[in-house]
Structure 1
């Protein structure tokens, strides 16, 4: 019987099929490829050669309370908390999101653009000093001036400064920060301009907050100022502080994929959010 010639294209087809079945997104090197599902042969081979078949990790997804992806210009929260978002000044612009989707992200190009929910609509988010995690993709066009902040999003009351805030700050150097305003955790890091960056703050209810950039832990700074953290209900707000009578601390740049969880996500879970947008129970 005549032997059939080896079909190299069939071999690579099988590799692609096996990668879909067995490979985890975390086993692939390029985060952008994970989002687009376009993997090259080197990534597939590396995955298949790691461990016993590089078995897919099965887990239960964690539902965030806030999941704003802004797909097709939507302000609807995919989480269970209902927001009615509006602006008393200028609404943010729609722009290309971090995945390249048209009208999939928000752009802030002036000091007056922001969204705010109705009063009290943040009441189901973690209050007091309860654990929480806040994440977002950001693409800043400028960094805050020394001694100032640029707020990505926040919730809680600004009247008494009892808010919970994810932001960039500058204080003796550039920082990424989780603010209670007056009780703040800041870690040294200079976020690049005009580049999409993933930022998370994980708080377990103690006197520190763990901060992550692009899935990497950069520090767990101790809060400074007058504490403890005591978030009280106010409103969910994107792109500004407002409401306290002080500086508004507007955001400059783009933002996308905002998340709030009612637990302190682990480093592994935050890596999952960065890679795939979903964290799983451990």
Structure 2
């Protein structure tokens, strides 16, 4: 005897499978990026999403994959996806925290849609009392890199992140949008006895308001200089300012003012950041090249 109910169910699944292929259904997430190349894996996941009712349209936002591309593993200190929290997803447990002590009381940023349209996929800062901290410490005689996505309606004189020993103290490094709206990296030297000598790079490209823009600073420890990138293109190179020539060679080079915490969403002169940040990456002991930055920009 033929089981008609089984035949109907089987036919339904086959029809649903081809319907899903036709209309570009996708599972909500693929967490093993290597399996994207396997057609059998895709077909299995499509059937799974049909049975679970979890298919989404092809261009809908998807759950983020936290698998780090092999090219970005070396030298990675911390990665803050900022998906509803300030956890480090690099595997190094360098989680963001509230600095406390002399620093402003904060409950941390709120969260908003990220650069890849992921709900609660970015940190949103109100410019009044929201920040968090990291233990990332860049040194002037070492290779390092800082990258992130930014989206703000305040494109003039907007502090993004920076070091200080305490509020209103001399800064170490800061990343900011300057008074003209250009991304800028600044560092100030301990040896100068003040904050008049240092290193500066200003981008030649402004950051447009209310648009996601990718920014990176890449530092060369050998030359004690660096470059700033905007949307994957070099837009500025550092130069020294003041009488002090910069980081010296040897086992104890003169350094920028540094130490923990690195405040994110707050910087000299005691000014809070206004806007959203997404996907902050910190690297130590390596520089990033054009391919690396392109890879970072392509991640969801």
| TM-aligned CA deviation for residue 89 of structure 1 | 3.0
Structure 2 equivalent of residue 27 of structure 1: none
Mapped to 2, the partners of 1:132 and 1:60 lie a distance apart of: 15
TM-score, scaled relative to structure 1: 0.65
Q: 1:252 aligns with which of 274, 289, 292?
A: 274
Q: Is the 8 A contact 2:96 2:132 kept in 1?
A: no
Structure 1 residues 209 and 37: alpha-carbon distance in aligned structure 2, compared to 1, 3 A threshold: farther
Query: For 1:227-252, what per-residue CA distance to the aligned partner results, in whole angstroms no more than 9, with x for missing partners?
Result: 5252431212111115xxxx223211
TM-score, scaled relative to structure 2: 0.62
| TM-aligned CA deviation for residue 223 of structure 1 | 3.5
Mapped to 2, the partners of 1:83 and 1:128 lie a distance apart of: 23
Question: Is it true that 1:165 corresponds to 2:177 in the alignment?
Answer: no
Q: 1:75 aligns with which of 81, 86, 90?
A: 86
Task: State which structure, 1 or 2, has the greater radius of gyration over its C-alpha atoms.
Answer: 2
Secondary structure at 1:65 match in 2 = strand
Structure 1 residues 110 and 227: alpha-carbon distance in aligned structure 2, compared to 1, 3 A threshold: same
Mapped to 1, the partners of 2:93 and 2:140 lie a distance apart of: 18
Q: Which runs of 5+ in 1 are unaligned?
A: 1-8, 14-19, 23-35, 40-57, 278-282
Q: Is the 8 A contact 2:151 2:210 kept in 1?
A: yes
| TM-aligned CA deviation for residue 143 of structure 1 | 1.9
Q: 2:290 aligns with which of 253, 257, 267?
A: 267
Q: Which runs of 5+ in 2 are unaligned?
A: 1-17, 23-35, 39-55, 60-68, 189-197, 248-254
Secondary structure at 1:217 match in 2 = strand
Q: Is the 8 A contact 2:228 2:234 kept in 1?
A: yes
| TM-aligned CA deviation for residue 61 of structure 1 | 3.6
